[in-house]
Structure 1
Amino acid sequence: MTRYVALLRAVNVGGTGKLPMAELRTMCESVGLTNVRTYIASGNVVFDSKLAEASVKSRLERRLEEYADKPVGVAVRTSEELAQVLTANPFKSAAPNRTVAIFLDTAPPADALTHASGQREEEMALGTREIYVHYNNGMADTKLKIPAAKTGTARNMNTVARLVDMANE
């Protein structure tokens, strides 16, 4: 049995993609996931499964699309992989609420950061299947666009740390 964390893209953010977390837990259980727990209303789920990551991802995305009538992206990590994201954060001395990991399905292209536009005070770094961004002045007024992150989903380091804790419980 593997402990996983699933991160849904564009759920309960900015008034779009409303999905009650109780409904999300039920959906996860309906595709065979066990010990399902959610964290805050932005699509964070910790669970156990005997399935491989790709199977978990495809089952969840299929079930979410049935619910939402549109594709809902899901990034999946094992509990160990998520802990490594936290450990590998290159901006550990920065405010955790201003530092995010943008979770991708595959490794970011080596030139991903050179294609970013609108960068001001933001700092960026590549991870294994993540792009880290420290928003020095906060995210509210950023103009930063990272084309390689378009289909990813971001979580700040406070959320990543809490999900790691939940996955280790």
Structure 2
Amino acid sequence: MTVFIALLRGINVGGKNKIKMAELREMFEKLGYIPVKTYIQSGNILFQSNEGEDELRKKIEHQIEEEFGISINVILRTASEMEQIIQNCPFSEEALSQAKEAAPDVETLYVTLLLEAPNPENVELLEEYQSERDQFKVIGREVFLLYHHSVRDSKLATNLHKLNVPATTRNWKTINKLVTMAKEMEGFRY
């Protein structure tokens, strides 16, 4: 069995698309994905399955719409793909430290997980929003984002939609926590 992490886009944000994590866990269990774990309220679900990514994504998206009346994108990564994201971080320790010094009270490193790799032309559109304060690197289906201020003040963050690919963003702490949880789950056999 493969450990997957489902990353739901746009739930429990600003009072919209509310789904309780307990209800989401129950939905995954009804689909036969056991064990199921969730992490924080923003739609991070870990589960095991032998199904392929496309089949899983369609099934989960359909079930969320059926049970909760919400049409959202679900981005899936396997445990090993999530671990690879950590290994692929393109920013140097020095760059990470400089960002943290500039904005010590906020998260500075994020990853936007894409449904598929973006077209190079769309990546070029995003480059006009890059600066010394807002940097990004695209590696496969991930966009690594480094901010030297709050993400809320970022033109780069508000223009990620120009990649024209369904996506969801998580901060670096969440990515690391999901990898830790996935490793724990990999040892579990139901």
Match of 2:172 in 1: 157
1:90-119 CA-partner distances (Å, limit 9, x unpaired): 125324922111111111222333202544
| Pair 1:78–1:11, CA change in 2 (3 A) | same
Distance in structure 1 (CA, Å) of the matches to 2:123 and 2:58: 28
Match of 1:126 in 2: 138
Q: For 1:110, give the aligned amino acid.
A: P
1:33-69 CA-partner distances (Å, limit 9, x unpaired): 1110000000001111121111211111001111332
Q: Structure 1 stretches of 5 or more lacking a match?
A: none
Deviation at 1:149, TM superposition (A): 5.6
| Pair 1:70–1:20, CA change in 2 (3 A) | closer
Alignment length (residue pairs): 169
Q: For 2:76, give the aligned amino acid.
A: V
Residue 91 of structure 1 contacts residue 99 of structure 1 at CA under 8 Å; is this kept in 2? no
Distance in structure 2 (CA, Å) of the matches to 1:128 and 1:22: 32
Runs of 4+ in 1 over 2 A off after TM superposition: 67-70, 110-113, 117-120
With normalisation by structure 1, the TM-score equals 0.92
| Pair 1:138–1:91, CA change in 2 (3 A) | farther
With normalisation by structure 2, the TM-score equals 0.83
CA RMSD of aligned residues (A): 1.7
Match of 1:99 in 2: 109
Distance in structure 2 (CA, Å) of the matches to 1:149 and 1:13: 21
Q: Structure 2 stretches of 5 or more lacking a match?
A: 101-105, 185-190
Q: Which has the larger radius of gyration?
A: 2
Distance in structure 2 (CA, Å) of the matches to 1:20 and 1:152: 21
